[in-house]
Amino acid sequence: MASQADAHAATFSAAELEFLAEDELIEIVPNMRMDPLNLICGDFGPFRPQIATQVPVWLAVALKRRGKCTIRPPDWMSVEKLTQVLEAERDAEKFQPLPFHYVEISRLLFDHARDDIPDIYMVRSLIEDIKDVRFHKIGTGLEIISRERTYALRLKNLSAMEANIVRPFVTRALQTFYKLSSPDMIQDSDSVSNRQPQTANRGPRRQLKDR
């Protein structure tokens, strides 16, 4: 059969991920008056000076760029919360819960709303550190799937950006293992001795690797 080269590498571009993240809601404080907006993606407003309201990030950024509001950074983007997360991330093997789009949202806010983020340098460096620790964990986690045959992987608390970056490797690796351990392959090689670990390791192999 003519096999098709798998063109599914990084399925979503970084820009597309940002696009998805931009629909998340965030709080703004307008400095002007505007009637409610009845958009396709939802209804927002009315906008009154000094009265906080929730809008999607893309709308917040658009208003901010025209000087029509200030953006209130989300709760998780404070120095305290991030320090807690960083420490927990360093101590535990598992991934700490973080907003799914934390990478994209923090990047958007850094780019467009620096003056609205208190201690921005601290916040930025904390997020960088958190990202690094998590990527390192992903690396060590990936070694596990190469040591034991893995059928499925649980990626608990992984964020959108991280999942997207890891996707090409993880999917190819798991697919290859799947192919190599399929029963047809093993039956074909009759001459190969029957000490396939398959029957012995029934138990542990079924576990979804929790990372």
Partner 1 sequence: METGAQDGSSGYSTMDDYESLISTTDAELLKRAWQNEKAAPQILRFEAALIQRSREQIKLMEETVGEFTRNGIDPLTVSLYQMDLDRTIFLLRSYLRTRLQKIEKYVFHIQKTAELWNRLSRQEKRFAERCIEDMEKHLDQSVLSKLPSSYKSHLKQSSSSEEDDMVPEPRLDTYVICRSKRFLGAFQLDDSAEEPVNIEADDLYALPYKSIKPLVETGQIDLV
- Chain residues in the site for partner 1 (CB under 8 A): 1-4, 6-8, 11-12, 19-20, 23-25, 34-35, 37, 39-43, 56, 58-59, 62-63, 66, 68, 99-101, 151-158, 160, 163, 167, 170-172, 174-175, 178-179, 183, 202, 205-208
Q: Which is nearer to partner 1, 35 or 91 (CB)?
A: 35
Nearest approach, Cβ of residue 139 and partner 1 (Å): 16
Q: Which is nearer to partner 1, 135 or 178 (CB)?
A: 178
Nearest approach, Cβ of residue 79 and partner 1 (Å): 22
- The token pair that represents 90 in the structure block: 């360093």
Nearest approach, Cβ of residue 83 and partner 1 (Å): 21
Contact by Cβ (8 Å): 29, 52: yes
Q: Which is nearer to partner 1, 90 or 172 (CB)?
A: 172
Angle, helices 57-65/102-112, rounded to nearest 10 degrees: 10
Q: Which is nearer to partner 1, 3 or 193 (CB)?
A: 3
Question: Vertex 106, ends 103 and 109: CA angle to 5°?
Answer: 145
Locus of tokens 């990372």: 211
Alpha-carbon gap, residue 145 to 140, rounded angstroms: 10
Nearest approach, Cβ of residue 166 and partner 1 (Å): 8
Nearest approach, Cβ of residue 93 and partner 1 (Å): 16
For 3, half-sphere exposure in the C-beta direction (CA atoms, 13 angstrom radius) is 2
Contact by Cβ (8 Å): 79, 126: yes
Q: Which is nearer to partner 1, 175 or 189 (CB)?
A: 175
Q: Which is nearer to partner 1, 41 or 118 (CB)?
A: 41
Alpha-carbon gap, residue 208 to 189, rounded angstroms: 28
**28: phi then psi, degrees, rounded to nearest 5:** -130, 160
Nearest approach, Cβ of residue 122 and partner 1 (Å): 25
Q: How far is CA 199 from CA 131, 152, 176, 183, in A?
A: 40, 18, 20, 12
Spacing of C-alpha 148 from chain mean position: 25
